[in-house]
Amino acid sequence: MKILIADDHPLIRTGLRQILSDSIAIQTVYEAGDGHSAMKELAAHPDIDVLVLDISMPDKDGMEVLKDVKARYPEVAVLMLSIQPETQYALRALRFGASGCLNKASAPEELVDAITQVQRGGRYINDEVSELLLQNLQQKQQDLPHLQLSEREYQVMVMLASGVSISDISSKLFLSVKTISTYRARLLAKMNMKNNYQLTCYAMGHDLIKPFSR
């Protein structure tokens, strides 16, 4: 395994190097004291497996380095390291492509475990971050427009998005054409949309209908 440690504190880099060298089969450990140096090391050694990246860098913020790394070297696994609680930055880091987040106060064994997991293509997050991700997912789901619809409105929306005409929906649901038209107007307003085409694009994008279904 080839590892790059990017941290502006020499003692931290030395400590991390010692921990990893004592615990993992490592071919090479490279070091960088700032963001620009980290990018130079990656350019010189593109076969680096894992980048251990401090979130607080003197010349270039760790998040900016992360975005650059994932844009240029997407195959490199990035483990974010910080003295801040992971919950303060984990969502942004994971969104930008980090493979994991770890607090500098963590036990050495946890660092080794994290490095091993991300090098294998996995993710490393603690219980607090897992709970945060779950809460974020639930919040996003609650914000989805179609979840604000009533059961009948949702049913009409799916049929309209699938290409079923108002008259056919009227026959299938045993409701008048006027009533279906009212449901259509109401659900379009709730979803902030103007026509059936937008409904179809939305429904397909959220896997509510199958492509070209009728």
**Residue 136: per-residue pLDDT:** 64
The gap from C-alpha 73 to its chain's centroid, in whole angstroms, comes to 17
pTM exceeds 0.75? no
Q: What is the pLDDT of residues 115-165, one digit of tens each?
A: 999 999 998 887 777 777 667 666 665 677 887 888 889 899 999 999 999
- Please state which CATH number belongs to domain 2-126: 3.40.50.2300
Q: What is the pLDDT of residues 33-62, one digit of tens each?
A: 999 999 999 999 989 999 999 988 877 888
In CATH, what class is 143-205?
A: mainly alpha
**Distance of alpha carbon 185 from alpha carbon 176, whole angstroms:** 14
Domain ranges of the chain: 2-126, 143-205
3-state class (DSSP) for residue 50 = strand
Q: Compute the distance between CA of residue 89 and CA of residue 85 in angstroms, rounded to an integer.
A: 8
- Calpha distance 153→192 (Å, rounded): 14
Tokens of 49: 């497996």
Return the structure tokens found at 56. 């607080």
Residue 169 token pair: 């929906």
